[in-house]
Amino acid sequence: MKHSRWLGVALIVALSIMLGPFLIIFFASFEPTSTLRFPPTGFTLFWFRKVLSMSMFQKSLVLSLRIALVASLLSLLLGIPVAYATSRYSFKGKRLIELIVTSPAIVPGMVAGLALLRFFVLMRVFSVETTLLIGHTAIVLPYAVRSVLSSLTNLPVSIEEAANSLGSHSVRTFFLIVLPNIKVGVISAFIMCFITSFNNVPISLFLSGPGVNTLPIVMMTYMEYYYNPSIAALSTLLIGLTLAIVLLAQKLLGVSKLV
């Protein structure tokens, strides 16, 4: 009984640390005055209407969504073949390839952002939006590889061997047998890549340019000059959007079974 009590206390403390900051932001977004404070002195939806009508947030939101979507698709396009090759074949340099592919997830974001900035400055051939897209693809690629790789590891090789023994070509087997059986891993990889890219700050901070800024960077810049509940309202909307995506995927696609 005593152990259960301590476990309950530990659970409450952990949940407070994890959810406390989000709850403060949530309640502060309804503050009726022009000062960000907690607890709020009243209730209003004014700040939600304001952030939704501001062109700077609208433009950066569209850019963030576009980059996150394309970067996630590109990471899957590159990550699925890499995951399949490393899970099904043994070849020279396999460990090195795995290290290179996963290195963006290991290297600190500020270091990776500075390295990418110097690289693209020397190249001088890409636009700001293209550099953002390449940088975001690089940082989300490890999530795609790892998620798809875990699904491939749980898929018996005997299924592919059976299809090949019945006359199916390797490419046909992959698209008709392997890919449908790892769709949960592919979808979960896309969700992780999308959320990671959309919320990224270090890479975007280094690779953004005049007139081309993602939503997190615009939010940071806005907070330097204004201390009102508008950022709290926008954060609440983004948290709600993220939770809606994850919960919908978990309910309809059974992503929680994988992770």
pLDDT single digits (tens) 4-29: 777 777 878 887 888 778 888 888 88
The confidence band for 200, taking pLDDT boundaries of 50, 70 and 90, is confident
Q: Are 208 and 130 in contact (CB under 8 A)?
A: no
Amino acid at 58: Q
Which CATH class, in words, describes the domain spanning 54-257?
A: mainly alpha
Long-range contacts of 73-76 (CB under 8 A, 24+ apart): 73/190, 74/133, 74/137, 75/137, 75/140, 75/141, 75/143, 75/144, 75/189, 75/193, 76/144, 76/148, 76/186, 76/189, 76/190, 76/193
DSSP-derived 3-state class of residue 158: helix
pLDDT in tens, 79-105: 888 888 888 877 777 777 777 777 666
Q: Are 209 and 128 in contact (CB under 8 A)?
A: yes
Among 45, 50, 49, which residue's Cα sits nearest to residue 31?
A: 45
- The residues with which 209 forms a beta bridge, in sequence order, are 212
Give the number of other Cβ atoms within 10 Å of residue 178's Cβ: 20
DSSP 8-class letter at 201: -
First to last CA, the chain: 31
Q: What percent of the chain has pLDDT over 70?
A: 94
Among 151, 156, 131, which residue's Cα sits nearest to residue 79?
A: 151
pTM: 0.83
Q: How far apart are CA 253 and CA 174, in angstroms?
A: 21
Read off φ and ψ for residue 212, nearest 5 degrees: -125, 90
Phi-psi region at 35: left, alpha or beta (left = phi > 0; alpha = psi -120 to 50): beta
Q: If you write DSSP's letter for every residue of 108-142 in order, what string do you get?
A: -HHHHHHHHHHHHHHH--S-HHHHHHHHHHHHHHH
pLDDT number for residue 71:
94
Q: How far apart are CA 35 and CA 86, in angstroms?
A: 53
Give the number of other Cβ atoms within 10 Å of residue 103's Cβ: 13
Where does residue 105 rank: exposed (0-12), middle (13-18), buried (19+ CB within 10 A)? middle
pLDDT number for residue 2:
55
pLDDT number for residue 105:
67
Cα angle 60, 23, 254 (rounded to 5 degrees) comes to 75
Average pLDDT over residues 111-128: 77
Domain boundaries, the chain: 1-44, 54-257
Six-digit token pair at 186? 């592919």
The single residue listed with the structure tokens 């939006």 is 129
Whether the pLDDT of residue 67 is over 50: the answer is: yes
pLDDT in tens, 124-142: 777 888 888 988 998 898 8
pLDDT in tens, 29-40: 888 888 777 788
Count CA atoms closer than 13 A to 153's CA, side-chain side.
9
The confidence band for 254, taking pLDDT boundaries of 50, 70 and 90, is low
pLDDT number for residue 258:
43
Q: Are 179 and 117 in contact (CB under 8 A)?
A: no
